[in-house]
């Protein structure tokens, strides 16, 4: 019996992604004409024959995987979903996306809907996941994997990242540059990752002999607007020389808040984020940040879920991926104070910055 050719083999031979092969073979738009021709030629030459419908019908499955993300404009969630889509394309499955907008009731209602046999399993990105929703999952016997859970005691397989060492490394980077007045804008307080990242920041300071100044610490949701407002207040009231944020969008808001106060980034204020969204590399200056492997998180979670759907046992329930400090142009050593005894701090709006 001839071995069946997979989409992954077609993709490798054609030099494109599995998602591109899937889109071409399913007649979806997006691929260039020469790419489309190459994929079709390789598929024919290798003898690729799709049989998804027959396989799913025989197994009593839909061939669909549900994905519940925060919303359809959040770049963080979209990068994760991109990884999910690539993994599902390899497995010749399709995804069904739902946006929850961090609404616990909507989240539970969508799970009830999907659990009626519409999907074979569900992936949830940073869900609220109240007990009532967990009960719905149990009753529906619906395989589920959580990505970036709000709390770590959720009794479900989950994909997380090393938040602690990521933020600790970022803090150490600023300390090595000579900063000691380092402000910190935490993320949403009900998320485990927020607490763990703050611990990495605190431990790095204390190990360097720098006490955590609570006046330099503030809370914020994961948004540009909140980052702008919160950073503006910290800059006006406490003049830090550096500012760290629990998310890139907060950090990007802080960059613009500094400029609104007449400060230069990084000359007057160094800024560090967390995520490494595409905007981090596209901003000016480029944002120093802690890279979460968002695409890999989606791939890992989707592959784990597919194993569960196939009735396999996972080796690990907590799949933790490494983070990486990415140093760009938004961090430099602090300016030397003009007068003896003056604090090493960013200057207020309107100050004469003088030569660099």
Nearest to 287 by CA among 227, 348, 345: 227
| 23-38: b (≥16 Cβ within 10 Å) or e | bbbeeeeebeeebbeb
Calculate mean pLDDT across residues 184-203: 93
C-alpha to C-alpha distance for 178 and 174, rounded to whole angstroms: 7
Instruction: Please provide the size of the chain in residues.
Output: 356
40 CB-near residues (< 8 Å, 6+ apart): 24, 25
Q: How far is CA 21 from CA 15, 93, 302, 343, in A?
A: 10, 13, 18, 59
DSSP code per residue over 74-121: -HHHHHHHHHHHHHHHHTT-EEEEEE-TT-HHHHHHHHHHHTTTT-SE
Handedness of CA 262, 265, 270, 272 (dihedral sign): positive
Average pLDDT over residues 70-91: 91
Q: 281-340 pLDDT, tens per residue? A: 999 999 999 999 999 999 999 999 999 998 998 988 899 999 999 999 999 999 864 333
Which of 28-32, 121-125, 212-216, 308-312 has the weakest average pLDDT? 28-32
Q: Is the pLDDT of residue 345 over 60?
A: no
Quote the DSSP letter at residue 44.
H
Q: Is the predicted pLDDT of residue 28 greater than 90, yes or no?
A: no
High-pLDDT (> 70) share of the chain, %:
90
pLDDT of residue 25: 82
Residue among 68, 249, 32 at smallest CA distance from 144: 68
Residue 1, pLDDT score:
46
CB 162 within 8 A of CB 294: no
CA 79-102-71 angle, 5° bins: 35
Is 53's pLDDT higher than 80?
no
Quick check: 353 pLDDT over 90?
A: no
pLDDT of 207 over the 80 cut: yes
pLDDT computed for residue 313 by the predictor:
87
* Beta-bridge partners for 281: none
Please name which of 266, 263, 241, 246 lies closest in space to residue 180, comparing C-alpha atoms.
241
Query: Pick the residue with more confidence: 114 or 190?
Result: 114
**Residue 123 tokens, joined:** 């992936």
Quick one: pLDDT at residue 285? 97
Going by C-alpha positions, the residue among 177, 234, 239 that lies closest to residue 204 is 177
Range of lowest pLDDT (22-31, 181-190, 194-203): 22-31
Which run of H or of E encompasses 29?
none
Q: Name the packing angle between helices 75-90 and 18-25 (round to 10°).
A: 70
Q: Give percent of the chain above pLDDT 90.
A: 68
What is the per-residue pLDDT for 343?
40
Task: Summarize the confidence of residues 181-186 as an average pLDDT.
Answer: 97
Chain segment 247-287, per-residue pLDDT in tens? 999 999 999 999 999 999 999 999 999 999 999 999 999 99
* Phi-psi region at 209: left, alpha or beta (left = phi > 0; alpha = psi -120 to 50): left
pLDDT at 352: 35
Q: Token match 């046992």: residue?
A: 313
For residues 331 and 271, the answer to whether their CB atoms sit within 8 Å is yes
- Is the pLDDT at 346 greater than 90? The verdict is no
* Banded model confidence at residue 59, pLDDT cuts 50, 70, 90: low
Residues 271, 184: Cα–Cα separation, whole Å: 10
DSSP per-residue string spanning 282-335 = HSSSPPEEEEP-HHHHHHHHHHHHHHHHTTPPPS-SEEEEP-EEE--TT--PPP
pLDDT of 138 reads 92
Examine the pLDDT at 235 and tell me if it is beyond 60. Answer: yes
Hey, what are 272's tokens? 């560090």
Give the mean pLDDT of 13-17: 91
pLDDT, the chain, mean = 88
- The answer on pLDDT for 154 being more than 50 is yes
- What does DSSP say about strands 324-326 and 288-291: parallel, antiparallel, or unpaired? antiparallel
């Amino acid at each position: 019996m001839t071995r069946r050719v997979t989409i992954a083999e077609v993709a490798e031979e054609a030099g494109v992604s599995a998602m591109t092969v899937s889109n071409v073979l399913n007649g979806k738009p997006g691929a260039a004409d020469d790419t489309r021709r190459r994929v079709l030629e390789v598929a024919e030459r290798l003898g690729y024959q799709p049989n998804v419908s027959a396989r799913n019908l025989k197994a009593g499955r839909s061939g669909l995987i549900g994905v519940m993300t925060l919303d359809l404009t959040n770049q963080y969630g979209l990068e994760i979903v991109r990884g999910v889509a690539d993994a599902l394309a390899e497995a010749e499955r399709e995804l069904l996306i739902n946006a929850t907008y961090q609404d616990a009731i909507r989240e539970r209602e969508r799970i009830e809907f999907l659990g009626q046999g519409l999907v074979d399993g569900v992936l949830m990105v940073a869900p609220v996941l109240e007990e009532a929703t967990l009960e719905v999952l149990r009753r529906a016997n619906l395989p589920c994997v959580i990505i970036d859970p709000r709390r770590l005691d959720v009794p479900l397989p989950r994909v997380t990242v090393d938040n602690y060492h990521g933020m600790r490394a970022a803090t150490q980077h600023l300390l090595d540059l000579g900063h000691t007045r380092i402000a910190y804008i935490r993320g949403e307080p009900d998320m485990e990752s927020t607490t763990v990242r703050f611990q990495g920041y605190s431990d790095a300071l204390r190990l360097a002999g720098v006490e955590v100044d609570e006046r330099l610490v503030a809370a914020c949701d994961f948004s540009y607007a909140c980052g702008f407002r919160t950073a503006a207040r910290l800059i006006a009231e406490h003049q830090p020389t550096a500012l760290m944020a629990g998310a890139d969008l907060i950090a990007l808001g802080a960059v613009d808040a500094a400029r609104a106060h007449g400060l230069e980034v990084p000359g007057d204020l160094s800024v560090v984020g967390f995520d490494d969204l595409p905007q981090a590399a596209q901003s000016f200056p480029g944002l120093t940040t802690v890279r979460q492997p968002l695409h890999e998180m989606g791939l890992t979670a989707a592959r784990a879920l597919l194993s569960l759907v196939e009735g396999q046992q996972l080796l690990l329930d907590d799949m933790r991926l490494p983070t990486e400090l990415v140093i760009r142009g938004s961090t430099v050593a602090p300016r030397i104070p003009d007068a003896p005894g003056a604090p090493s701090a960013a200057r207020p709006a309107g100050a004469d910055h003088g030569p660099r």
